[in-house]
Structure 1
Amino acid sequence: MNEHPRLTSLAHGGGCGCKLAPSVLRELLAGQPVAQAFPQLLVGTETADDAAVWQVDAQTCVIATTDFFMPMVDDPRDFGRIAATNAISDIYAMGGRPIMALAILGMPIDKLAPEQIRQILEGGREICAEAGIPVAGGHSIDAPEPIYGLAVIGLCHPSELRRNADARPGDALILTKGLGIGIYSAAIKKGALDAEGLAEMVASATRLNRIGTDLAKRDDVHAITDVTGFGILGHGLEVARGAGLRLRLRLNDLPLLSRAAELAEAGFATGASTRNWAAYGAEVTLPEGLPIWKRALLTDPQTSGGLLIACAAPAAGQLLDELRAAGFPLATIIGSAEAGPPGIVVE
């Protein structure tokens, strides 16, 4: 008999659903000093990008990020793998190449066995090895809830830096992974997701977004961000605000995990989904009469989600074929960017 507690039972939230609501985060950051007083800081807090970027010289930028959260699955190794994949994604979303990571670990050592904690760390190291980087150190504390993640350092050439603020009018929008991770995690909490569904979720959340490094070498790819805790609407809005554009998304074209719609209609959703809508719903126009469960698909927090790519429209078809061939079978053109007040229109 397994005497170890379920990881998800020790946390009040899980995955990127633990993130502060977008409105709360914006309020907290509103009074911070302007980081752009440092001319070598190419990307700081001003554009809600995925990582900070410091230009070292004419050939090299350093990309730095950190990401950690509480468990959304009960298997310790899978928790470590998902958290590491999610953290490394920020480097890929900026167009960079990761070079090393530091572990961030907070564990209730009176509730978890050492072997469980070791499995979490091993899962993280496994993904880092897949990305070709070492876990070069880290920091740990005794914490009331299990927390794991990474600080990750990467590099890129200044010309290959991709910010979410650089989308252009007329760009096509591509999403590389299916939505529904938060809905699946809510079903896990209530014992309503079967083994097949769990395997699908873990496979998606542990698929590295390394394609971002290659995308950034293309002149026809203008902006990249990864879709995580704020959902497709929240991260789409970060692109819209940063670039000063309006995004149009086609609801029926959004890629979904196989049971996402079914579970959403049955009422499975995270608290973060509701907080997300409350934070940014005023900037979104939805189809009249859209059911609440369909809205939940749009606000669903993604843990280690896909890349949202803004590219020149003529290149979108070929790029889509390349993404699918590279291991992203659900990659889909989901809409476009256009001139207009920053916001999102869902059609």
Structure 2
Amino acid sequence: MNTSVDNPIRLTSFSHGGGCGCKIAPGVLADILKRSSGFPVPKELLVGIETSDDAAVYKLNDEQALIATTDFFMPIVDDPYDFGRIAATNAISDVYAMGGTPIMALALVAMPINQLPVDVIGKIIQGGEAVCAEAGIPIAGGHTIDSVEPIYGLVVMGLVHPDRVKRNADARPGDKLVLGKPLGVGVLSAALKKNALDAEGYKAMIVNTTRLNKPGRLLSSMPGVHAMTDVTGFGLLGHALELARGAGVSVQIDMSSVPVLPGVSALAEAGFVTGASARNWAGYGESIILAESVSAVQKALLTDPQTSGGLLVSCDPAAVPEVLALFQREGFADAAVIGEVAAGAPQVHVK
């Protein structure tokens, strides 16, 4: 299920990686950021790089704060329209993860002009436009370059009330953790690249990666919701660890409660995992405590890079029914409580 009949070009063959699996490994990224020089931070900057949050947030006035983010990557699928949709959905997610409402996007387009037909590039852009239309925002501009590998993404801006910003650093001991989407996108992409993904698996992958995380903008108004992030390239463990480190708490995950896309466990068992999964573990594994009952396949799923993954919500136990009901109303049938937050060293424990 790699190409359509009328699209024989395999976009994934042009890139060395795909989707959020292209991210620089977490350990390498941390080393790079350590070497960057400091700079004065204005008081209006409510969220910057200090806790590896999903977007920057700048206070404009007492009623509005501007959310700014960008995300782009190489093809995770061969269908150009689907690639554009996935990349746009993934980029917009960062605004929802901060509790905001997107207002505008700029397109980032880098393409091997002499190798890809113009109509293929056009379909990528059209896919991004379709998702932006669904989110209710215009693509108001952007930038294009000739590139060795195809790259597409967006700069996205949004608005949120300054008091309703949902950082990844505000989880509290006693909170429950809710995950909005099932895991397994990286495994499906690995199978796709090796021609081992059937039509049903491809459909599940596209549905998951093109579902906008719209619940985020509504969750921001719930007092019981304390923190949010979205699960992307560093996998569930990596983003849960960022939450733990930002808040100075311990995160506990119940593997049996973590939703997984259909067929993914069997594919992982057959060896269809991404190289990014191993790089993720190498980058943060020392801060993860796995119970002996956690299998190698489950470990691979927990570190699996998620492209356009789900929201990870830290909320008061009393708010869980309302949070789950909201996810259900918005079409996120797999949303589930997967763990809790506790006092303790910033680590992630998996049982």
Cα distance in 1 for residues equivalent to 2:264 and 2:209: 14
Deviation at 1:257, TM superposition (A): 0.3
Deviation at 1:39, TM superposition (A): 1.0
Shift in alpha-carbon separation, 1:338–1:35, aligned structure 2, 3 A: farther
Aligned residues of 2:214 and 2:330 also touching (Cα < 8 A): no
Structure 1 equivalent of residue 130 of structure 2: 126
Residue 92 in structure 1 maps to residue 96 in structure 2: yes
TM score, norm. by length of structure 2 = 0.97
Give the partner amino acid of 2:171.
Answer: A
Structure 2 equivalent of residue 193 of structure 1: 197
Aligned residues of 1:245 and 1:341 also touching (Cα < 8 A): yes
Cα distance in 2 for residues equivalent to 1:335 and 1:173: 5
Aligned residues of 1:35 and 1:45 also touching (Cα < 8 A): no
SS of 2:87's equivalent in the other structure is: helix
SS of 1:84's equivalent in the other structure is: helix
What does residue range 63-212 of structure 1 map to in structure 2 within 5 Å? 63-212=67-216
Residue 287 in structure 1 maps to residue 302 in structure 2: no
SS of 2:76's equivalent in the other structure is: coil
Cα distance in 2 for residues equivalent to 1:35 and 1:319: 38
Aligned residues of 1:246 and 1:338 also touching (Cα < 8 A): yes
Cα distance in 2 for residues equivalent to 1:105 and 1:44: 25
Aligned residues of 1:4 and 1:112 also touching (Cα < 8 A): no
Residue in structure 2 matching 1:321, options 320, 325, 333:
325
Deviation at 1:323, TM superposition (A): 1.1
Residue in structure 1 matching 2:18, options 14, 21, 25:
14
Deviation at 1:4, TM superposition (A): 4.5
How many aligned positions are there?
Answer: 347
Aligned residues of 1:36 and 1:42 also touching (Cα < 8 A): no
Deviation at 1:230, TM superposition (A): 0.2
Cα distance in 1 for residues equivalent to 2:38 and 2:331: 40
What does residue range 240-259 of structure 1 map to in structure 2 within 5 Å? 240-259=244-263
Structure 1, unmatched stretches of 5+, are none
Cα distance in 2 for residues equivalent to 1:70 and 1:77: 13
CA offsets, 1:261-311, max 9 Å, x none? 111111110010000000000000001153322210000000000000000
Greater CA drift, 187-196 or 318-327: 318-327
CA offsets, 1:89-137, max 9 Å, x none? 0000001110000000110111110000000000000000000000000
SS of 2:251's equivalent in the other structure is: strand
SS of 1:288's equivalent in the other structure is: coil
Deviation at 1:34, TM superposition (A): 3.8
Cα distance in 1 for residues equivalent to 2:226 and 2:39: 24
Shift in alpha-carbon separation, 1:155–1:293, aligned structure 2, 3 A: same
TM score, norm. by length of structure 1 = 0.98
Structure 1 equivalent of residue 33 of structure 2: 29
Cα distance in 2 for residues equivalent to 1:131 and 1:248: 33
Cα distance in 2 for residues equivalent to 1:36 and 1:97: 28
Cα distance in 2 for residues equivalent to 1:345 and 1:101: 38
Deviation at 1:36, TM superposition (A): 5.9
What does residue range 234-313 of structure 1 map to in structure 2 within 5 Å? 234-288=238-292, 290-313=294-317
Greater CA drift, 317-326 or 83-92: 317-326
Residue 225 in structure 1 maps to residue 229 in structure 2: yes
Shift in alpha-carbon separation, 1:321–1:5, aligned structure 2, 3 A: same
Deviation at 1:317, TM superposition (A): 2.5
